[in-house]
Amino acid sequence: MTLAGTVRRLAARLIPRRARLEAEHTTIQDVETIPRRRLTLVIGLAVLLVTIPLITLYLLLILSSFADRMLSGPDIFEARYSLENWKLLFQGKLEPAAAQLYTPRDLLVIIANTFIVALGVTAVVIFTSVMAGYAFSRMRFWGRRRLMEFMILLHAFPGVALIIAVYAIYVWSLSGIPRDVLTAYRFTYTIFARAALEIPMSIWLMKGFFDKIPWEIEWSAMIDGASRFRVWWQIVLPLVKPGIAALAIFAFLAGWEDLIYVHVFLYTGGIKTLATFIEEVIGNIETAYLPIAAAAATLYLLPTIVFFVLTQKLLLEAMSGGVKG
Amino acid sequence: MALPKPRVNPALFFLIPALTLIAIFYVVPLFLSIYISFTPLKNWNIQKYLGEVTTYNYERLIHMIRYDPDFGMVVKTTLFFVPVTLLINVLGGLALALATFLMEEAVSLPTRVLWILPRMTPVAVYSLMWYYFFLGDASGTLNNLLMRLGIIDQPVNWGNDPNLLPYSAWTILVIVNALVGVSFGMVVFYSALRSIPREHIIAARIDGASTWQLVRHILIPQLRWHLIYVTVWQLLSLLTTYTHIFLLVKWGAVHKYWGSTWALYVFNKAFEAEWGSEQGLAAAAATILVIIGSVLGLIALRILGYGKMMGEPRGEL
């Protein structure tokens, strides 16, 4: 379901006649999970209650992006609102310093860089862990248990401590790279290094999803003469779409929000992403003009929300038929 | 089924891409870092210090744990922060996933979007939002709210007030990190719930199961693997996490030591000049963290029944 779709559905609830039709439809669709509308109401209210602080925080952030200062609650009626921050952001006048001096930046390039890293990490993570997760779930090989255990324990090593050494390897490998592909190499290295951090977790996640698929499905396909690879590709993969959706969310976000790896490998080469850019704007909290950061942050949130909603749709679609075994 | 084994295990084909990346970007750096922990590396002066090998860093750390009150605060903070946040993350994630699973989609999706926002927010902005929420003067969101409700009449310096320390600082750490961590459990559990065959749920409903019985006997038992996974994963994450509180400590929103976990201490020690810029000592502290994490992780896996979950694949043809 797209954002627009959600809005439309929510709007429909407010209109009595359409709401009744809609309710009828939902009742039929979800008869097995939702027997009573009162249940939704009770759970909904409970969740809303714990969500209030979250809603407050994000409303303040979005309001701040239109205001002349960072808002913290009581001052929302005293601030002056305009589109000034957003205008500055899109004009690329992104770092207002004292005396309104601006350093011009190309926002489109920054956004494109962010997408390259995020989508790159997503692709690498999905490709590697969907393969490995299948092997761990379905195949017998030497050291299977130990390797799986080792994988989760790898996570105990802080990324901070790793990066010292990852950086050393990077510097060492740079000497062999021709100048004209240096930028491409920087991106590639960042993507692979960042993806590597996500892979152990993703393999664990995928294994859990592969485990849920009945063995009979594979047996019957293999008896029919399909190769192991074909079974994996054509039969099993479509069944783990919800898992891939969850994986994609985490991988995309990891790439999209990464600060440390991007900072070390790309920023030193003059390549910026939204995250490093925002970090730069906030810089010194005492002197920075923060509403611009609020605007940049709001902008930063939009693609992640769209991506999340899209993967959720995939998740629902994939499972609406249930697993047929 | 006694078919002849192929010469090359087909599993290798599926494993190689992942294992290569893990080796280059995980295993090799891991050993390099352990090596650095045995050198007196300071101020990133690699040429000068990297040749020496000494156990001085570890001796100093042990001494600090026993006698240095500042470092003692960091240890106590970590001991409080990790288990409390873990409990909230796992149970909160489970509760949210079940709630959103049982809700109608038109309410469920916006709820899930809201709860994943903290994870999506740039770390610097997220810290900024909490900085203003817990600000010590009257313009802080929490102070202002409580003063309007008449609960307090003076603004409270939540992160630094000596009367409230260490619990106020610890509460801030837990809230800030739990809101990020809860969404992890929510996404994993929700996806898992969605992948339970609908027939199971329909059958239970036909047999007259109440919602509570459905949750207790059908849904939660199906989440076993995911529960283990989220618990162990979050445990290790929490031991090594620092980014979301890094700026709060730097800006003075929480007490310098009561607001620092061991992992943040490692980062500050290595990268922040005012904390010392001693990479050797930081690497040693990181190595100890790794050992603690590995041991705790192994114990958690045993307790939660990892062996059973990793049963042999039964479909080899």
Q: What pLDDT band is residue A198 in, cutting at 50, 70 and 90?
A: confident
Is A176 within a domain? yes
Please give the structure tokens belonging to residue A188.
């590639």
pLDDT of A24 > 50? The answer is: no
Residues 128-157 on A with a CB inside 8 Å of B are 128-129, 131-132, 134-135, 137-142, 144-145, 148-149, 151-157
Is A304 within a domain? yes
Is A74 within a domain? yes
Question: In this prediction, what percent of chain A has a pLDDT beyond 70?
Answer: 76
Cβ B125–A282 below 8 Å, yes or no?
yes
Is A144 within a domain? yes
Using CA atoms, how far apart are residues A80 and A82, in angstroms rounded to an integer? Answer: 7
Q: Measured between alpha carbons, how far is residue A190 from residues A37, A167, B19, B33, B151 in Å? A: 49, 10, 18, 19, 50
pLDDT of A100 > 60? The answer is: no
pTM listed for this prediction: 0.77
Is A29 within a domain? no
Would you mind telling me the total number of residues written for chain A in this entry?
325
**Partners of residue A127 in chain B, C-beta under 8 Å:** 17
Interchain contact B251–A (C-beta under 8 A):
yes
Cβ B104–A40 below 8 Å, yes or no?
yes
Domain co-membership, A127 together with A54 = no
Domain co-membership, A77 together with A160 = no
Among the ranges A19-28, A288-297, B75-84, B268-277, which has the highest mean pLDDT value?
A: B75-84
Separate counts of helices (H) and strands (E) for chain B: 17, 0
| Angstroms from B251 CA to nearest CA on chain A | 8
Question: Regarding predicted confidence, which is higher, A320 or A189?
Answer: A189
Is A224 within a domain? yes
Last residue of a domain, one of A84, A112, A140: A84
Domain co-membership, A47 together with A120 = no
Amino acid at A123: A
Using CA atoms, how far apart are residues A309 and A301, in angstroms rounded to an integer? Answer: 12
- Residue-wise pLDDT tens digits, B176-234: 999 988 988 898 898 888 877 777 777 787 777 777 888 888 888 888 878 887 888 88
Cβ A204–B233 below 8 Å, yes or no?
yes
Give the per-residue pLDDT at A291: 83
CA angle B132, B137, B139 (to 5 degrees): 55
Domain co-membership, A80 together with A174 = no
| Angstroms from A269 CA to nearest CA on chain B | 20
Instruction: Identify the domain containing residue A69 by its residue range.
Output: 36-84
Domain co-membership, A106 together with A74 = no
| Angstroms from B71 CA to nearest CA on chain A | 19
Give the per-residue pLDDT at B266: 86
Q: Measured between alpha carbons, how far is residue B273 from residues A1, A106, A271, B257 in Å? A: 49, 32, 25, 16
**Partners of residue B112 in chain A, C-beta under 8 Å:** 308, 312
Interchain contact B129–A (C-beta under 8 A):
yes
Give the per-residue pLDDT at B250: 83
**Partners of residue A282 in chain B, C-beta under 8 Å:** 124-125, 128
Domain co-membership, A248 together with A142 = yes
Interchain contact A56–B (C-beta under 8 A):
yes
Average pLDDT of the segment spanning A64-90: 81
Domain co-membership, A180 together with A302 = yes
Interchain contact B245–A (C-beta under 8 A):
no
Is A242 within a domain? yes
**Partners of residue A170 in chain B, C-beta under 8 Å:** none
Q: Count CB neighbours of A310 within 10 A.
A: 16
Domain co-membership, A116 together with A228 = yes
Give the per-residue pLDDT at B85: 95
pLDDT of A9 > 60? The answer is: no
Q: What pLDDT band is residue A325 in, cutting at 50, 70 and 90?
A: very low
Average pLDDT of the segment spanning A283-301: 78
CATH number at residue A266: 1.10.3720.10
Interchain contact B122–A (C-beta under 8 A):
yes
Q: Report the domain count for chain A.
A: 2
Is A95 within a domain? no
Using CA atoms, how far apart are residues A165 and A162, in angstroms rounded to an integer? Answer: 6
Question: Regarding predicted confidence, which is higher, A57 or B83?
Answer: B83
**Residue in A closest to B232 by C-alpha:** A152
Q: What pLDDT band is residue A28 in, cutting at 50, 70 and 90?
A: very low
Q: What is the mean pLDDT of chain A?
A: 76
pLDDT of A45 > 80? The answer is: yes
Give the per-residue pLDDT at A27: 45
Q: Is A22 exposed, middle or buried (0-12, 13-18, 19+ CB in 10 A)?
A: middle
SS3 A273: coil
Q: Count CB neighbours of B51 within 10 A.
A: 8
SS3 B75: helix
CA A74 to centroid of chain Cα atoms: 32
Q: What's the CATH architecture for B29-40+52-306?
A: Orthogonal Bundle (1.10)
Identify which of B18, B225, B313 has the shortest CB distance to residue A138.
Answer: B313
Name residues whose C-beta falls within 8 Å of residue B70's C-beta, 6 or more positions apart in sequence: B257
Q: Which letter does DSSP use for residue B252 in this model?
A: T
Cβ B125–A162 below 8 Å, yes or no?
no
Interchain contact B284–A (C-beta under 8 A):
no
Residue of B121, B145, B195, B226 to mutate, interface with A, max A Cβ within 10 Å: B195
Cβ A144–B232 below 8 Å, yes or no?
no
Maximal CA-CA distance, chain B: 81
Amino acid at A172: W
Terminal Cα-to-Cα distance of chain A (whole angstroms)? 27
- Residue-wise pLDDT tens digits, A110-123: 889 989 999 999 99
Domain co-membership, A49 together with A166 = no
**Residue in A closest to B203 by C-alpha:** A32
Place of tokens 């719930």: B193
Domain co-membership, A192 together with A257 = yes
Q: What pLDDT band is residue A128 in, cutting at 50, 70 and 90?
A: very high
Interchain contact B55–A (C-beta under 8 A):
no
List chain B domain ranges. 29-40+52-306
Cβ B315–A158 below 8 Å, yes or no?
no
Residues of chain B with pLDDT under 50: 1-2, 315-317
Transcribe A115-177 into DSSP letters: HHHHHHHHHHHHHHHHHHHHHHHH---TTHHHHHHHHHHHTTS-HHHHHHHHHHHHHHHHTTS
B59-68: long-range contacts, CB 8 A cutoff, minimum separation 24: B60/B281, B60/B284, B61/B281, B61/B284, B61/B285, B61/B288
Interchain contact B301–A (C-beta under 8 A):
yes
